[in-house]
Amino acid sequence: MIHFVLLISRQGKVRLTKWYSPYSQKERTKVIRELSGVILTRGPKLCNFVEWRGYKVVYKRYASLYFCMCIDQDDNELEILEIIHHYVEILDRYFGSVSELQTNNLPMGCESSNLILLVYPLFKFI
């Protein structure tokens, strides 16, 4: 199960979040701060999977954005990497080329990319 999705810039700014499990605002802030610190400090040659609080966090860097998904321990990490890749492809088709600049300058883009995140996990079952 995917618990949440984060898009974080290399500077540590959150560009997009989607929470599929209940977290309070205080918990969300703590999670974002914690994971940003963990993921942004990892080297490029390290594995894209991180054990975190009894979950796995799978992330992939595209340009200056990190796409991160938190999943259960028994979920398939490679499948999640494929989901991240397909999500990036969908965003590229919808917006042109996805970049941090576009996530900053598209007010409608955030709503649209959130809608895609809301519906995308259902594609797996179709």
**What stretches of 21-76 show up as alpha helix (H) in DSSP?**
25-40
Is pLDDT of 91 > 70? yes
Is pLDDT of 106 > 50? no
The boundaries of the domain holding residue 6 are 2-123
Domain containing residue 105: CATH number: 3.30.450.60
- Count of structural domains, the chain: 1
- What does the pLDDT read at residue 122? 46
Mean pLDDT of all residues in 76-104: 78
Q: How far apart are CA 100 and CA 104, in angstroms?
A: 6
Closest-CA residue to 91 (of 77, 106, 78, 76): 106
Which tens digit of pLDDT belongs to each residue from 11-56? 999 988 989 899 999 999 999 999 999 999 999 899 999 999 999 9
- What does the pLDDT read at residue 50? 96
Mean pLDDT of all residues in 83-100: 78
- What does the pLDDT read at residue 33? 96
